[in-house]
């Protein structure tokens, strides 16, 4: 279990992280989200003692990182897949890491097989694609069979098969009882992978809750209804009063989006008014919608209007 | 600590540029010895001390290359970001630097030993084949003292390169400083001090004092004799290294 307490990191006058608190539970994948420049990578570096925070504390099962003997046996960390000497082979990269933490060299073969790089283990890393480097990075992370796994943008550069492989792998690792913390910009992937979310903006905690709660709390669920008698349904919804409202008429055919009513209510209303229904479905916003809604004021760099 | 040294040894020997630098460092004195042995117009007048002096002088070039190797060994970790992987695996950063210094010491000692005796033997053999009469002296003679002094000096210079690498982090800048330190920087410091009234300051420049002491008394008006000159330079380098270790521990990786 990872506990982050009151972490604050400044670079000169710039506050990168401000009094950050969160925890990462074992047995699940926790997504670490935030806009560019929000302090995610700095947080991860502070967690493993690479950057020195001005205040705060990070513990792994009660121990600070620097207090852990042979730390890669406890915490596996992948900050950037390109942090490999390009002239060194994949096997040698893993071997020096293994030696530094008293790990058996046979473990190198195991993790190479785990990530599917056995056949290219002797090749220099400069000949690797970004996807292969990501796999090598994950191999290095898993070298010590750690109980905590921390990954910064692990799906960067992976093809669709690789992304699915990474997702399955991380869920598998969490399923083994490990605490898995993953920073990623690929929100669709995060939605499929993460059970828990930590969202930060401008170095401060914005949300720390389950992914389902986060999406439910920050998005609106709408009911899409299509019918040849859409006017009847629209009138009935409006007559029901309350907070039910028609948002817009669906462009292609007679339809509408309803908010403030359940799908069952809309279906029964249509039936009660003798309207034929061609489609009745829930439209739920994505994690991306929720993320953009929550971090709207915390985007450091924002695209200009296209109009 | 043994595990970290083994890890650093594996890192050092699995980078091709390190081997290239070692080969160049070995080749240069070999070429010089060969040329002297073949082209010297009066081989019968060449003394054993002169051959030792040539080997020591060409070895000084090699040790500068070796010190560049240890600069690169460290600064390339910053260049490629592997220093973060290293420090995440070994949070006690001083252990990494000390391990690199141990590897640097051993490799430098082996390379300089091979280089010295190979070149001495080659030079003497070539000159003898052309009519010279150069006797290889006994165990504790002049040649062995020069050999010990040269290897010791090379090891201290390798530590110096490592210390500057930790402090500066940037490969080209650190290499330039290592190469210019004996050629320009110490002389400029001595000149500045001389202009300020400390005219004997150049006697106390650590690199030059130790370097001039390699061959013992040679007319150089050093403040310190051979072993003390080396100890003085070593103390200076240890101070530089200690500053580097403290600075490295305090800053973000």
Average pLDDT, whole number, for chain A? 87
User: What is the side-by-side strand order in the sheet with A148-152?
Assistant: A75-78, A148-152, A179-183, A28-33, A196-201, A204-210
Of A48, A66, A96, the CB nearest to B10: A96
Judged by average pLDDT, the poorest of A188-197, A234-243, B79-88 is: A234-243
Phi first, then psi, for residue A56 (nearest 5°) are 105, 175
Q: Does B17 touch chain A (CB under 8 A)?
A: yes
Contact across the interface for A52 and B92, Cβ inside 8 Å: no
Q: What is the pLDDT of residues A121-135, one digit of tens each?
A: 999 999 999 889 999
How many CB atoms sit inside 10 A of residue B124's CB?
A: 23
**3-class secondary structure per residue, chain A:** CEEEEEEEEEECCEEEEEEEEEEECCCEEEEEECCCCCCHHHHHHHHCCCCCCCEEEEEECCECHHHCCCHHHCEEEECCCCCCCCCCEHHHHHHHHHHHCCCCCHHHHHHHHHHCCHHHCCCEHHHCCHHHHHHHHHHHHHCCCCCEEEEECCCCCCCHHHHHHHHHHHHHHHHCCCEEEEECCCHHHHHHHCCEEEEEECCEEEEEEEHHHHHHHHCCEEEEEECCCHHHHHHHHHHHCCCCEEEEECCCCCEEEEECCCHHHHHHHHHHCCCCCCEEEEEECCHHHHHHHHCHHHCCCCCCCCC
Distance of CA B174 to the CA centre of its chain: 15
Q: What is the largest CA-CA distance in chain B?
A: 63
Distances (CA, A) of B140 to A128, B46, B125, B146: 54, 21, 21, 10
Per-residue pLDDT, averaged over B219-244, amounts to 82
Which residues from B are below 8 Å from A101, CB to CB? 3, 89
Judged by average pLDDT, the poorest of A231-240, B73-82, B146-155 is: A231-240
Structural element, H or E, at residue B164: helix B142-168
Complex-level ipTM beyond the 0.95 threshold: no
Q: What is the pLDDT of residue A304?
A: 54
- Give yes or no for residue A50 having a pLDDT over 90: yes
Q: What is the pLDDT of residues A104-120, one digit of tens each?
A: 989 999 999 999 999 99
- Whole-angstrom distance, CA of residue B55 vs CA of residue B113: 11
- Give yes or no for residue A66 having a pLDDT over 80: yes
Structural element, H or E, at residue B71: helix B48-80
Handedness of CA B197, B200, B204, B207 (dihedral sign): positive
Contact across the interface for A96 and B90, Cβ inside 8 Å: no
Q: Does B56 touch chain A (CB under 8 A)?
A: no
User: What is the side-by-side strand order in the sheet with A245-249?
Assistant: A245-249, A255-259, A221-226, A279-284
Per-residue pLDDT, averaged over B153-170, amounts to 92
Bridge partners (DSSP) listed for residue A258: A223, A246
- Whole-angstrom distance, CA of residue A303 vs CA of residue B224: 68
Residue A291, min C-alpha distance to chain B (Å): 30
Residue B197, min C-alpha distance to chain A (Å): 41
Of A65, A68, A83, the CB nearest to B84: A83
Give the pLDDT band (50/70/90) at residue A238.
confident
Q: Does B89 touch chain A (CB under 8 A)?
A: yes
Q: Does A97 touch chain B (CB under 8 A)?
A: yes
More confident residue, A251 or A170: A170
| DSSP letters for B97-159 | HHHHHHHHHHHHHHHHHHHHHHHHHHHHHHHHHTT-------TTSHHHHHHHHHHHHHHHHHH
- Whole-angstrom distance, CA of residue A219 vs CA of residue A291: 9
Residue of chain B whose alpha carbon sits nearest to that of A122: B14
Contact B51, B120 (CB under 8 A): yes
Bridge partners (DSSP) listed for residue B227: none
- Whole-angstrom distance, CA of residue A8 vs CA of residue A17: 5
Query: Angle B142-168/B48-80 helices, nearest 10 degrees?
Result: 20
Residue A33, min C-alpha distance to chain B (Å): 22
Residue B247, min C-alpha distance to chain A (Å): 13
- Give yes or no for residue B165 having a pLDDT over 60: yes
- Whole-angstrom distance, CA of residue B224 vs CA of residue B242: 24
Half-sphere exposure for A125 (CA within 13 Å, toward CB): 25
Instruction: Of A105, A165, A106, A103, give the one whose Cα is nearest residue A138.
Output: A165
Give the pLDDT band (50/70/90) at residue A305.
very low
Q: What is the pLDDT of residues B23-33, one digit of tens each?
A: 999 988 899 88
Average pLDDT, whole number, for chain B? 87
More confident residue, A36 or B92: B92
Work out the burial of residue A250: count CB atoms within 10 Å of its CB; fewer than 13 is exposed, 13-18 middle, 19 or more buried. middle
For the entire predicted model, the pTM comes to 0.82
Q: Does A96 touch chain B (CB under 8 A)?
A: yes
Per-residue pLDDT, averaged over A3-9, amounts to 94
Phi first, then psi, for residue A93 (nearest 5°) are -60, -45
- Give yes or no for residue B108 having a pLDDT over 80: yes
- Give yes or no for residue B40 having a pLDDT over 70: yes
Number of H helices and E strands in chain B, helices first, is 10, 0
Of A77, A86, A96, the CB nearest to B88: A77
| DSSP category for residue B205 | -
- Whole-angstrom distance, CA of residue B196 vs CA of residue B201: 10
Instruction: Of B103, B77, B130, give the one whose Cα is nearest residue B4.
Output: B103
Q: Does A85 touch chain B (CB under 8 A)?
A: yes
């Amino acid at each position: 279990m990872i506990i982050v307490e009151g972490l604050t990191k400044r670079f000169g006058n710039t506050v990168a992280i401000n009094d950050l608190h969160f925890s990462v539970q074992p047995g699940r994948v926790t997504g670490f989200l935030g806009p560019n420049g929000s302090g995610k990578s700095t947080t991860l570096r502070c967690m493993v003692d690479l950057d020195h925070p001005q205040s705060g504390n990070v513990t792994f099962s009660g121990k600070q990182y620097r207090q852990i003997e042979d730390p890669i046996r406890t915490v596996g960390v992948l900050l950037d897949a390109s942090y490999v000497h390009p002239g060194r082979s994949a096997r040698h990269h893993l071997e020096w890491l293994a030696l530094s933490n008293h790990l058996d060299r046979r473990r190198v073969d195991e993790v190479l097989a785990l990530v599917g790089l056995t056949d290219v283990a002797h090749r220099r890393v400069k000949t690797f694609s970004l996807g292969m480097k990501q796999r090598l990075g994950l191999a290095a992370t898993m070298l010590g069979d750690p109980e905590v796994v921390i990954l910064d943008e692990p799906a960067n550069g992976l093809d669709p098969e690789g992304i699915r492989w990474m997702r399955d792998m991380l869920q598998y690792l969490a399923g083994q009882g490990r605490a898995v913390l993953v920073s990623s910009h690929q929100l669709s992937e995060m939605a499929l992978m993460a059970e828990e979310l930590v969202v930060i903006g401008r170095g401060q905690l914005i949300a720390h809750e389950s992914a389902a709660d986060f999406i439910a709390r920050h998005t609106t669920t709408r009911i899409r209804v299509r019918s040849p008698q859409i006017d009847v349904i629209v009138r009935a919804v409006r007559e029901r009063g309350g907070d039910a409202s028609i948002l817009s008429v669906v462009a292609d055919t007679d339809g509408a989006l309803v908010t403030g009513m359940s799908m069952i209510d809309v279906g029964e209303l249509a039936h009660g008014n003798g309207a034929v229904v061609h489609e009745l479905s829930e439209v739920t916003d994505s994690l991306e919608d929720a993320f953009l809604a929550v971090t709207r004021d915390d985007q450091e760099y924002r695209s200009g209007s296209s109009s | 600590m043994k595990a970290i040294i083994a890890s650093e040894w594996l890192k050092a020997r699995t980078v091709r540029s390190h081997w290239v630098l070692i080969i160049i460092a070995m080749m240069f004195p070999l070429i010089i010895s060969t040329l002297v042995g073949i082209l010297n117009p009066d081989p019968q007048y060449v003394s054993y001390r002169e051959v030792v002096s040539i080997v020591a002088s060409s070895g000084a070039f090699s040790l500068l290359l070796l010190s560049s190797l240890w600069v690169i060994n460290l600064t390339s970790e910053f260049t490629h970001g592997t220093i973060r992987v290293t420090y995440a695996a070994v949070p006690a950063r001083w252990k990494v630097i000390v391990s690199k210094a141990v590897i640097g010491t051993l490799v430098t000692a082996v390379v300089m030993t091979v280089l010295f005796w190979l070149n001495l033997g080659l030079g003497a053999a070539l000159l003898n084949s052309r009519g010279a009469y150069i006797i290889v002296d006994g165990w504790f003679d002049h040649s062995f003292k020069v050999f010990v002094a040269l290897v010791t000096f090379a090891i201290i210079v390798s530590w110096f390169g490592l210390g500057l690498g930790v402090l500066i982090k940037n490969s080209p800048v650190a290499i330039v400083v290592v190469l210019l330190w004996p050629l320009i920087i110490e002389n400029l410091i001595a000149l500045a001090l001389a202009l300020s009234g400390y005219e004997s300051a150049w006697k106390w420049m650590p690199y030059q004092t130790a370097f001039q002491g390699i061959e013992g008394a040679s007319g150089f008006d050093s403040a310190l004799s051979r072993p003390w000159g080396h100890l003085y330079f070593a103390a200076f380098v240890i101070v530089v290294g200690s500053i580097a270790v403290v600075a490295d521990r305090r800053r973000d990786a």
